[in-house]
Structure 1
Amino acid sequence: MFRPLQRLFSMTIKAGDLEIVDGSGTLHAYGNRTGPRVRARFKDSRLEKEIVLAPQLKFGEGYMDGRIEIEQGSIYDFLAILMSNAEATELPRWLRSIDRLRRLRKPLQQYNPVSRARRNVAHHYDIDGAIYDLFLDADRQYSCAYFDGGDNLEEAQLAKKRHLAATLALKPGQKVLDIGSGWGGLGIYLAETSDVRVDGITLSEEQLRVSRQRAAARRLERNLTFSLADYREIDGPYDRIVSVGMFEHVG
């Protein structure tokens, strides 16, 4: 095992029964052998170095990518041992130094000017829409639905839009800004049911194309528009502003 990672486990895991099989197949045991045993296998040695540099990220990514396999116990048991021991142990100085450097880099990594935001959104959304049809409802609502009992996905997404409209407490004639309007579903719903003027904005050219087609098919051009714009470029005033599932794109 990569020596710094071995030291990290030895210094941190004091309670519980954790076994790690490293990339070379060697078994390492940690803890005081109390509680149920958990055994994890690291399938390649490179992952061991990555975990040392970014443990909060690389443990999860390693499991997600299949590079960490839980051979005994569950992923929940594995995380429980790691977290309970980490909370009770002061991190070594060298790991605290790495963490400080990571924090210093974070503002640069999260710097998100309009040009970069557009590139990021295009990478994710300006693709063949058939991919999204595989797992979204017919309205292409790309955020959590509002399930109540035995609702199917279509009904649950409609319930979500109803809930959002009720929360906005809209009045006829009001002007609404929908930031991150997606494929237009929420804007169309509000324009059709609440007698309001809706401006939807997106950074995806594909979403814009679909949204405008849908609005035109419903003859909603009078009280519904969609534009390719960043929220930082928009001037008001608006009576209501709504944004659903967009903030993960904000730096």
Structure 2
Amino acid sequence: MLSEKILATAFARAVRRGSLRMTTAKGQTFTFGDGGLPEVAIRFTDSAAETALCLHPELKLGELYMDGRLLIEEGDILGLLQLLLQDTRGELDDLPLHHLRKIRQWLTLRGENDATRSKRNVAHHYDLDGRLYSLFLDSDRQYSCAYFERPDASLEEAQAAKKRHIAAKLLVEQGHSVLDIGSGWGGMGLYLASVAGAGLVKGVTLSEEQLEVSRKRAAAACLGERVKFELEDYRATSGSFDRIVSVGMFEHVGLASYDEYFQACRRLLKDDGVMLLHTIGRTGAPYPTNPWITRYIFPGGHLPTLSEMTPAIERAGLVVADIEILRLHYAYTLKAWRERFMARRDEALKLYDERFCRMWECYLAMSESAFRWQDAVVFQVQLAKRSDVVPLTRDYITKREAILKAAEARVMELKRSA
């Protein structure tokens, strides 16, 4: 069949190291690679699945795995992605209709994420059963890239280091007001109040599930008067804040809304204020997000390049004070999440069905692959209205991290003695 020949040609070009064995629906077997590791064997259950993968590989690879029409008989989904991505860009550009699909994806990106659509997109992912996230996140439910001060750090240590690193760059002082855009389950806001000394933290989220958990956590920590969480779109937020932090939220803003986002940040930031934006991005040329991810995991999302972000920052009248690029940190984070999820997969199966569990496996593996073998990174962009509000040299970050670490220890001691 034509589809078998097309797939055999594409896999032969993509798989250079390792070993891939493909068995077609008709039982024909092909092998690719140099015979090394990883070793992966796949099998198609029907000929239509082979044709679908040829026509739209970026979408159909995940769909076929979810639906049990692409079976992995040896190895796992991460190993398959490694074989396909480690030596190539990975889009299988030689397959039919690739360029037409790319044009269609770019046109889709031009649609704005208004408040209604943004809330619907957030609910799709973040309003899932909260017990699902407890299976693989750290105890603080940090659902963004951790900061590994050493490669063998535990997930708990790396997520604590992430909060510390961000707080240090924010230059939070006693009594400062802080706006947390996309406040998640509240961990960052609670940290800034309890450890960094912020006087008032306002967290805004569009997830009703996260809002409920955040408010309960603030009350349990006796911080309900200083840390307020609201179900609110950032565009509707009012006030003026000494500091603004946004972690893992900008990916959901959408390319067409970048101007609106940064203009809102400028409006909300005091003249001597500092903002820290922590977002997944790309180091290569601008490219649409994987369509399987946008359909099943993060609808409306886009991973920006600096060339897409900085024009909107400049038009808003904000100053880029610092940019740090975290490269493999998210690969380490996702590896930890994937391993923890797989270790408790049976519990996930009690919450959802087998198809969902395969979808979640695929999501975590695809995401890890993007940071290991493609151009996905994390940008930490420090912004201000004036160039003189941040110290001249970056050594203040290390000094402030040491102070924050000591404060963390004091907070923990108080909790133990309470």
TM-score (norm 2): 0.48
How far 1:200 sits from its partner (Å)?
0.4
Partner of 2:241: 238
Deviations 1:12-36 (A, max 9, x none): 8569697643222234578xxx844
Partner of 2:227: 224
Partner of 1:129: 130
How far 1:126 sits from its partner (Å)?
2.8
CA RMSD of aligned residues (A): 3.7
Assess if the C-alpha contact under 8 Å between 1:13 and 1:81 holds in 2.
no
For the pair 1:204 / 2:242, whether they are aligned, the reply is no
Deviations 1:187-236 (A, max 9, x none): 01101122322110111112112212222233323432111011222245
Q: Residue 218 of structure 2: which of 215, 220, 225 is its match?
A: 215
Aligned-partner Cα distance in 1 for 2:249–2:90: 35
Aligned-partner Cα distance in 2 for 1:127–1:50: 29
Partner of 2:104: 102
1:116-155 counterparts in 2 under 5 A?
Answer: 116-149=117-150, 151-155=153-157
Aligned-partner Cα distance in 1 for 2:159–2:91: 40
* SS at 2:183 equivalent: coil
Aligned-partner Cα distance in 1 for 2:177–2:114: 27
Letter in 1 for 2:133: Y
Partner of 2:285: none
Distance of aligned partners of 1:238 and 1:44 in 2 relative to their CA distance in 1, 3 Å threshold:
farther
Partner of 1:47: 49
Distance of aligned partners of 1:170 and 1:80 in 2 relative to their CA distance in 1, 3 Å threshold:
closer
Assess if the C-alpha contact under 8 Å between 2:181 and 2:204 holds in 1.
yes
Per mean C-alpha deviation after superposition, the further-off stretch among 8-17 and 140-149 is 8-17
* SS at 2:178 equivalent: strand
How far 1:63 sits from its partner (Å)?
5.2
Partner of 2:5: 6
User: Unaligned regions of 5+ residues in structure 1, if any?
Assistant: none
How far 1:49 sits from its partner (Å)?
2.5
User: Unaligned regions of 5+ residues in structure 2, if any?
Assistant: 255-418
Distance of aligned partners of 1:112 and 1:210 in 2 relative to their CA distance in 1, 3 Å threshold:
same
* SS at 2:97 equivalent: helix
How far 1:248 sits from its partner (Å)?
3.4
How far 1:184 sits from its partner (Å)?
1.0
Deviations 1:39-64 (A, max 9, x none): 64323323223223322333355457
Partner of 2:374: none
Q: Residue 195 of structure 2: which of 171, 183, 193 is its match?
A: 193
Assess if the C-alpha contact under 8 Å between 2:4 and 2:24 holds in 1.
no
Q: Give the aligned length.
A: 243
Q: Residue 175 of structure 1: which of 177, 184, 189 is its match?
A: 177
Deviations 1:90-130 (A, max 9, x none): 847x525533553354336x642211221222233334423
Assess if the C-alpha contact under 8 Å between 1:12 and 1:86 holds in 2.
no
Aligned-partner Cα distance in 2 for 1:84–1:157: 30
Aligned-partner Cα distance in 2 for 1:9–1:132: 38
Distance of aligned partners of 1:177 and 1:20 in 2 relative to their CA distance in 1, 3 Å threshold:
same
How far 1:165 sits from its partner (Å)?
0.9
How far 1:4 sits from its partner (Å)?
5.0
Letter in 1 for 2:127: D
Assess if the C-alpha contact under 8 Å between 1:13 and 1:85 holds in 2.
no
Letter in 2 for 1:181: S
Per mean C-alpha deviation after superposition, the further-off stretch among 63-72 and 211-220 is 63-72
Assess if the C-alpha contact under 8 Å between 2:84 and 2:90 holds in 1.
no
- Percent of aligned positions with the same letter in both sequences? 48
Distance of aligned partners of 1:47 and 1:213 in 2 relative to their CA distance in 1, 3 Å threshold:
same
Aligned-partner Cα distance in 1 for 2:86–2:205: 43
Assess if the C-alpha contact under 8 Å between 2:11 and 2:84 holds in 1.
no
Letter in 1 for 2:44: F
Aligned-partner Cα distance in 2 for 1:130–1:226: 21
Distance of aligned partners of 1:39 and 1:179 in 2 relative to their CA distance in 1, 3 Å threshold:
same
For the pair 1:75 / 2:80, whether they are aligned, the reply is yes
Aligned-partner Cα distance in 2 for 1:84–1:19: 21
Aligned-partner Cα distance in 1 for 2:227–2:89: 52
